[in-house]
């Protein structure tokens, strides 16, 4: 009996646990579908259903009762302002997706930037023909900023369901709950910098990253060959663009490297040392750097080989033993970051003592610098000649002066 009592108690305990969980699952279906990555909850229209595997934290799919209207909700990383420029990228993205579903004769019928419930968004209507048939399809989509990303909501049907499709789209937009709103990025344009000792001005159309975008930023940082993004030593920025594409990206960090003073005279002698420091342990061959103006001083600009995407790297010294290291990478194979990178380099302002001046290092350092890089400098030759003549004169004087003992003898 005692064993039966134990089994009964255990069974009763399981019932207490399982029954509320089942009720909670039912309540979740009524209350909506939570998407944690999107920070939102989706609510279905009446009699709509979610197919097996249609619900996750990053994507949501559902369909009408008859299956004649399908909805898909997903996102792309980074917040991108809703504009006509961004709309061109979103239309291209949707066109590519439709083509993968064997749609033909795809055409954008309406592209409009609107404001719905206080949210600025891009609305797109595309028409197409289902492969091998004459039935015209309808594709209605919207794109708008979410928390650290762009939210995409698209419905696909045939043109006979145009009214129902528009009503369904309105239902999803009006009933969706947002647990976190898009971040305010208005202060992330313009100047950027770090406490490490330098600041820069971003090109037009570029901005820094918000805290909600740090996850995707870490992936871009890895593609430049950097280990991690340290906001105390680095700043990072990108050019927001519409579409399911990787943006152009750059990152500038503080590094440690003790160099002689870099100027027109020493640049050629110091460059091999810089190249070996950053590329000596790699298997890639990097050509000699180009001279580049970085704020008020000379720096080193490298073009390391990249697989398709243009990559640039620059180094500029400041103070004693410090360097600013910048990397830029084009998001697309045919893209270029040369102008944007050059603009940032020329805008550099070093914020340390005396403007981050790189000192030579006292009289001893000045002599070492002169011997290595400016042996013909009159300011160096003059004192050296004077010292030599003084030394020779001293020898002559000592040679002519006979010891007293010898004179008496």
Give yes or no: residues 112 and 218 share one domain: no
The per-residue pLDDT for 335 is: 78
Q: Tokens for 12?
A: 């009763």
pLDDT of amino acid 22: 31
Q: Indicate if 60 and 153 belong to the same structural domain.
A: yes
Q: What is the per-residue pLDDT across 8-23, written as a single tens digit (0 to 9) for each?
A: 334 333 333 333 333 3
Q: Is the pLDDT of residue 287 over 60?
A: yes
Residue 208 near residue 188, CB atoms below 8 Å: yes
Average confidence (pLDDT) over 117-123: 94
pLDDT digits (tens, 9 = 90+) for 129-188: 987 778 899 999 999 999 999 999 999 999 899 999 999 999 999 999 999 999 999 999
Q: Is residue 384 pLDDT above 70, yes or no?
A: no
CATH of the domain at 287: 3.40.1000.10
Position 284 scores a pLDDT of 79
> How far, in Å, CA of 108 to CA of 204, rounded?
29
406: pLDDT confidence band, cut at 50, 70 and 90? very low
Asked if the structure places residue 348 within a domain, the reply is yes
Same domain, 252 and 341: yes
Contact (Cβ atoms closer than 8 angstroms) between residue 329 and residue 223: yes
pLDDT band, residue 109 (cuts 50/70/90): very high
pLDDT higher than threshold 50 for residue 6: no
pTM, rounded to two decimals: 0.81
Chain segment 188-206, per-residue pLDDT in tens = 999 999 998 999 999 999 9
The answer to whether position 368 is within a domain reads: no
| In the predicted structure, residue 409 carries a pLDDT above the cut 80 | no
Q: Is residue 8 part of a domain?
A: no
Q: Do 343 and 408 share a domain, yes or no? A: no
Is there a domain that residue 22 lies in?
no
pLDDT at 216: 92
Q: What does the block give as tokens for 242? A: 């519409």
Q: Please check whether residues 72 and 202 belong to one and the same domain.
A: no
Which pLDDT score, from 0 to 100, does residue 179 have? Answer: 95
318 and 337 inside one domain = yes
Of 14-18, 224-228, 258-262, minimum mean pLDDT range = 14-18
Decide which of 141, 156, 178 is a domain's last residue: 178
DSSP 328: E
pLDDT at 381 over 60: no
Q: Do residue 194 and residue 336 come from a single domain? A: yes
Position 230 confidence tier, pLDDT thresholds 50, 70, 90: confident
Residue 164 dihedral angles phi and psi, to the nearest 5°: -65, -35
Query: What CA–CA distance (Å, rounded) separates 202 from 43?
Result: 41
How much is the pLDDT for 404?
55
Range of the domain at 398: 379-409
Picking from 155, 178, 201, the residue at the C-terminal end of a domain is 178
Question: How large a percentage of the chain has pLDDT more than 70?
Answer: 82
Phi/psi of residue 285, each to 5°?
-100, 120
The yes-or-no verdict on residue 275 having pLDDT over 90 is yes
Mean pLDDT over each residue of the chain, to the nearest integer: 84
Flag whether pLDDT at 286 surpasses 70: yes
133 in the same domain as 230: no
In total, how many domains does the chain have? 3
Is 80 exceeded by the pLDDT of residue 329?
yes
Residues 162 and 225 reside in one and the same domain = no
Same domain, 61 and 132: yes
The stretch 344-357 carries a mean pLDDT of 91
Domain end among 147, 178, 209: 178
pLDDT: is 406 or 89 the higher one?
Answer: 89
In this prediction, residues 362-374 reach a mean pLDDT of: 69
- Whether the pLDDT of residue 62 is over 50: the answer is yes
In a domain, 361, yes or no: no
Beta bridge partners of 253: 234, 325
369 domain residue, yes or no: no
């Amino acid at each position: 009996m005692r064993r039966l009592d134990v089994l009964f108690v255990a069974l009763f305990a399981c019932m207490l646990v399982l029954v509320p969980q089942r009720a909670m699952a039912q309540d979740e279906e009524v209350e909506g579908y939570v998407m944690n990555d999107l920070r939102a909850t989706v609510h279905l229209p009446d009699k709509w259903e979610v197919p097996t595997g249609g619900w996750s934290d990053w994507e949501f799919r559902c369909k009408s009762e008859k299956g004649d209207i399908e909805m898909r909700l997903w996102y792309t990383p980074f917040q991108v302002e809703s504009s006509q420029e961004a709309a061109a990228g979103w239309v291209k993205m949707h066109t590519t997706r439709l083509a993968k579903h064997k749609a033909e004769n795809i055409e954008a019928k309406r592209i409009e930037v609107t404001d719905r419930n206080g949210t600025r968004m891009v609305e797109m209507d595309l028409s197409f023909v289902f492969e091998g048939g004459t039935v015209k399809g309808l594709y209605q989509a919207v794109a708008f900023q979410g928390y650290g990303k762009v939210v995409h909501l698209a419905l696909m049907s045939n043109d006979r369901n145009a009214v129902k499709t528009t009503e369904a789209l309105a239902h999803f937009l009006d009933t969706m709950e947002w647990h976190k709103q898009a971040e305010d990025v208005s202060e992330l344009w313009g100047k950027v910098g770090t406490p490490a000792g330098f600041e820069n001005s971003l090109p037009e159309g570029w901005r820094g990253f918000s805290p909600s975008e740090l996850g995707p930023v870490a992936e871009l940082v890895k593609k430049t060959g950097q280990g991690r993004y340290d906001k105390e030593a680095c700043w990072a920025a990108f050019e927001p663009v519409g579409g399911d594409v990787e943006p152009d990206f750059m990152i500038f960090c503080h590094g440690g490297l003790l160099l002689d003073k870099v100027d027109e005279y020493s640049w050629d002698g110091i460059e091999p040392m810089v190249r070996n420091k950053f590329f000596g342990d790699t298997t890639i061959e990097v050509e000699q750097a180009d001279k580049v103006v970085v704020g008020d001083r000379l720096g080193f600009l490298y073009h390391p080989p990249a697989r398709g995407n243009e990559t640039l790297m620059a180094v500029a010294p400041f103070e004693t033993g410090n360097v600013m290291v910048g990397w830029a990478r084009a998001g697309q194979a045919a893209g270029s970051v040369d102008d944007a990178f050059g603009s940032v380099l020329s805008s550099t302002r070093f914020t340390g003592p005396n403007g981050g001046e790189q000192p030579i290092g006292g009289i001893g350092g000045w002599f070492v610098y002169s011997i290595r890089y400016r042996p013909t400098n009159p300011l160096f030759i003059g004192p050296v000649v004077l010292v030599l003549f003084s030394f020779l004169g001293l020898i002559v004087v000592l040679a002519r002066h006979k010891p007293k003992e010898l004179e008496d003898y």
